[in-house]
Amino acid sequence: MSPRLASFKALIYAHCGLVLEGVAEDRLYKILQHNAKRSGCIDLNAYERLIRTDAEQFDILVCQLTVNETYFFRELEQLELLTTVLIPQVLAQKSAGQPVRILSAGCSSGEEPYSLVMLLERIYGERTAELFQIDAGDLDQNVLSKARAGVYSQFSFRGVDPAVRLRYFQPQKQGYKLAEHIRSQVSFYQLNLLAPQFPAELSDYDIIFFRNVSIYFDLETRALIQRRFYELMNAQSILFLGSSETLGNDLGVFELVEHTGQYFFIKGEAYRPKHNNTGTGLTLTETGQSTSDLVLQLDQQALSTVNADDTADVVAPPTEPSQRTDSVDDRRLVALERIQQLVSAGELRRAMRLLESFPVPVTEDYAACLLKSWLLLNQQAFDEAASLLGYALVAQPWSVDAMLMQGLLCKWQQKTEDACQWFRKVIYICPECWPAHYYLADTRRAEEQFEAAVRSYQAVIRILATAAEVNHGLTWIPAPLAASDAVFLSRRQIQQLTADLHTTQVDD
């Protein structure tokens, strides 16, 4: 890397925490060259002098470097957990007339906070504005202007049904304009999460969304930002990161908790999931409808019509085994591949919809059985998941995927001894299955079997120390977290558990 580039990178990192490595570094170089030329600077030295003295020019550069990828109803499972399970609890904590305060930090062009308003509006109707105050902030002024204007292109509606778009958006020449009654419920702020001071209005939050932003920061910046959030939040509050980021962000600031496979952070005790409550957490709204039903309606609307993106995924209805042709098998394979991709990307509802049009009965297809069990498990449909896992285990009695899921099925139903037995079976068949060691460690930790938990976390580190690409034995379902995060978290847990063990021994 040229010394010139290092100096720009340091400047940007100090200003907003963005770490520009690899492809981002190449991009930075091209942008610098282009900007220097456009602003009449003879070289990068002159351009650096310009941005160091001209805040507007520096802002232009920063906005060119942010990654603003977002879309409506992204990671719907999380939004659903929030609206069906957590928000009713938050509302119960509030005194009359006190709104629930929510911040979307790193909101990009607004799809995230607006999705939330649309979901809440379906549940709370006209009372939404009085019950909730939603703020959103981003570093990038360009995306904020777009968010305030509320006009979106097709690109923001990935996986969203035209019926939902029709309900909330008005087609225009340049795209689709979001209805005023939704737009007016979000207040946008320019917000640099590393700025010495935040806008005064940003305080007292019950819920903060910080999804798909932390990936651009190093661990030190992530911890710093979490500590700032901690200050901005009420004594009882909730922090959501993107589902693939959450485990790698357990930095000791907030408490990491799990609700049937979904992880989030809490401050205080009030929203800690009650692990003996394996119910669905459904609550009734004032209209008497289950909040989940309402969200589901929206989601089913969103998924009932095949969008262009999905057309290739939809396959013909099931046929009898005897009638299967090569093309059915081809379609089966294409569908499986696509469903697996969606499962890995956390797009569980779209994956489920594709399974509904799977070309052969799911119970006759081992891989489809596994994938559907995974989706059902994540929906807490434990009985249905158990029944499908039964089919998978008949087809392949030594299936690592199926046995691991049996373990999870037991774990999430609080049958911890059975869960441990399943995880141990997996380890017996595939000693390198670090996800099984990780789940075993997690279960033992929850059961306060600290020494056994430490041994299992050590096994995760040992297996992954040789190579991150170790064959963990899972073919169809995803590992719970990235290998690097598993090592990082196992180390942290060992540290904490060893300290706890030491304290217990001293107390004894």
Ligand X SMILES: C[S@@+](CC[C@H](N)C(=O)[O-])C[C@H]1O[C@@H](n2cnc3c(N)ncnc32)[C@H](O)[C@@H]1O
Instruction: Show the tokens assigned to 11.
Output: 């400047």
Q: What distance in Å separates the CA atoms of residue 181 and residue 125, rounded to the nearest whole number?
A: 11
Between vectors from CA 199 to CA 195 and to CA 200, what angle results, nearest 5°? 130
> How many other C-beta atoms are found inside a 10 Å radius of the C-beta of residue 56?
7
What contacts 245, CB < 8 A, 6 or more positions away? 211, 212, 214, 215
Q: How far is the CB of 133 from ligand X (least distance, A)?
A: 18
For tokens 């939902």, the residue is 164
Q: How far is the CB of 121 from ligand X (least distance, A)?
A: 19
| Minimum CB distance to ligand X smaller for 107 or for 409 | 107
| Minimum CB distance to ligand X smaller for 17 or for 407 | 17
Q: How far is the CB of 105 from ligand X (least distance, A)?
A: 6
| Minimum CB distance to ligand X smaller for 35 or for 70 | 70
Q: How far is the CB of 63 from ligand X (least distance, A)?
A: 8
**Beta strands, E only, 91-220:** 100-105, 132-138, 151-152, 169-172, 175-178, 186-190, 205-210
Q: How far is the CB of 68 from ligand X (least distance, A)?
A: 4
- DSSP structure class, residue 83: I
| Minimum CB distance to ligand X smaller for 226 or for 373 | 226
Instruction: Show the tokens assigned to 420.
Output: 């441990």
| Minimum CB distance to ligand X smaller for 106 or for 150 | 106
Q: How far is the CB of 84 from ligand X (least distance, A)?
A: 20
Q: How far is the CB of 14 from ligand X (least distance, A)?
A: 11
| Minimum CB distance to ligand X smaller for 5 or for 215 | 215
Q: What distance in Å separates the CA atoms of residue 12 and residue 218, rounded to the nearest whole number?
A: 13
| Minimum CB distance to ligand X smaller for 72 or for 254 | 72
Distances (CA, A) of 223 to 65, 227, 411, 493: 22, 6, 30, 17
Orientation angle between helical segments 416-429 and 400-412, nearest 10 degrees: 160
| Minimum CB distance to ligand X smaller for 156 or for 406 | 156
Q: How far is the CB of 10 from ligand X (least distance, A)?
A: 15
Secondary structure in 3-state letters for 317-360: CCCCHHHCCHHHHHHHHHHHHHHHHHHHCCCHHHHHHHHHCCCC
**Residues binding ligand X (CB under 6 A):** 16-18, 66-70, 74, 106-108, 112, 138-140, 143, 191-194, 211-213, 216, 242
Burial of 320 (0-12, 13-18, 19+ CB in 10 A): exposed
3-state secondary structure of 287: coil
| Minimum CB distance to ligand X smaller for 107 or for 371 | 107
Phi, psi of 341 (to 5 degrees): -60, -45
Q: How far is the CB of 12 from ligand X (least distance, A)?
A: 10
| Minimum CB distance to ligand X smaller for 107 or for 294 | 107
Q: What distance in Å separates the CA atoms of residue 17 and residue 483, rounded to the nearest whole number?
A: 24
> How many other C-beta atoms are found inside a 10 Å radius of the C-beta of residue 421?
16
Q: How far is the CB of 51 from ligand X (least distance, A)?
A: 17
